[in-house]
Amino acid sequence: MGFRHSESMPALSPVDDDSSGDERMTDGDPHPHVAPPPAPNVRDAHCFSSCVDLNSMCSSNTSDDESSVVINSSPHRRASAMSPHLGLKKVLVTGGAGFIGSSVAMHLLARGDSVVIVDEMNDYYDVRIKENNLRRLREMCPPEHHLVVYVGDICDEEFMLSVFEAERPRWVCHMAARAGVRPSIQDPFVYIHSNIRGTTHLMELSHKFGIENFVFASSSSVYGGSKSTFFSEDECVDNPVSPYAASKKACELLAYTYHHLYRLNVTGLRFFTVYGPRGRPDMAPFKFIDRVSRGLELQQFGDGSSSRDYTYIDDIVDGIVRAIDRPYPYQVFNLGKGSGTSLREFISIVEKHVGRDAIVNVLPDQPGDVPYTCADVSKAYDLLGYSATVSFDEGIRRTVRWYEDEYVKNICVEPETQANGMGRAASFAEIRSVVAA
């Protein structure tokens, strides 16, 4: 079924896994993904990253290991770009104990915003990793800032209503979701529950409580088997190849419905394979670094020619915050690096920074996987001022450094025991608690 193209909704017709600091951190910083503390005048410095000059951002968008990213900017589209909201915000961050959610929360707190986190703390991967993320947030949150953490399921109507009534957030950053292509094929029902039902419930509360902007995580997986060189938001994404991708497409459609019916400002962000320090242990960048470091065999699905647009966490957080600050009526944006890295090159870069050769076991392609993902980020460039600045080589170098300096010494959870469709918790928490930071 075709959809008519409009200014607020890209046309949808037939076509991997997803899963902003005020300034970028220097290479020598031990935590490059942590935003710096706010300037003395927080309100003046509040949206510095949202207003960074595009030309200066793109001047650093070339790396030694990748070709320059070509952004096909549209002057007409840039003319319609929205200026960022500059006031301090109270933001509800769902999935705030996870990799992306906690990174966004850290940035928001650092620039002066108040943050309300909701996370069910399920054991899709080791809960200790999420607990460590929350600990870091509490430690970096100075007394004058406000951080509240709720543990519970976003699908629990009574629980979420109580959160909205008690906290009265004005902005929503919805990062909570069941992620992963392969696990979704094994157990599609939990993805319908968490991703579709959970997102719908949050949008229903958001329109009733007058939320100013609702930003949520979609995924590059919605592009399915597209043959395009660069995936554009204008492409048709009517042919998802996994339940996970289908759930994300459904959320995009429901988001437009809530915009149409209630004038809820909604932005969906299609993430392209996010990685970096504190990343999910079921994702390839983490697993490859871990297994090469330990001298264990790693699995290569296919002949190594498949390619992904791997995007460093700093760049993803920058794009998310830019979207939060700009309450567009309805938009969908790609957030990626804008260039692909083949699996063979990926393994080679990991070997270089770990300092060991990989033991590779070549296996057939997996059902639901797509051969190539690469983001056309020109729309996000024009309307958000977004442009990735961290090359894959540099991102892996930083991630290896974090793995060696922090992860091995303090956490050390074996990725082979994590997620991948095995031993996952149900998508609801039976016990809820409220923790005030």
Q: Annotated active-site positions, please?
A: 244
Residue 18, phi then psi, degrees to nearest 5: -70, -80
Contacts (Cβ under 8 Å, ≥6 apart) of 433: 150, 151
Instruction: Round to whole Å and give the CA distance between 110 and 38.
Output: 6
How is residue 219 annotated by DSSP?
A: E
- Assigned token pair, 436: 């005030």
How is residue 263 annotated by DSSP?
A: -
- Assigned token pair, 130: 């999420």
**What sign does the CA torsion over 158, 160, 163, 164 have?**
negative
Instruction: Round to whole Å and give the CA distance between 262 and 266.
Output: 11
The 10 Å Cβ neighbour count of residue 230 is 21
In b/e form, how buried is each residue of 313-336, taking b as 16+ CB within 10 angstroms? Answer: bbbbbbbbbbbbbbbbbbbbbbbb
Residue 394, phi then psi, degrees to nearest 5: -70, -40
Altogether, the residues listed in the chain come to a count of 437
Cβ atoms of 375 and 233 closer than 8 Å: no
Cβ atoms of 255 and 247 closer than 8 Å: no
Helix, strand, coil distribution of the chain in percent, nearest 5: 40, 15, 45
> What is Dmax (Cα atoms) for the chain?
56
- Assigned token pair, 68: 């320059």
Instruction: Round to whole Å and give the CA distance between 84 and 79.
Output: 14
CA angle (381 as vertex; 311, 261 as ends), nearest 5: 100
**How far out from the chain centre does Cα 272 lie?**
8
Instruction: Round to whole Å and give the CA distance between 297 and 180.
Output: 22
Instruction: Round to whole Å and give the CA distance between 288 and 268.
Output: 29
Instruction: Round to whole Å and give the CA distance between 326 and 212.
Output: 10
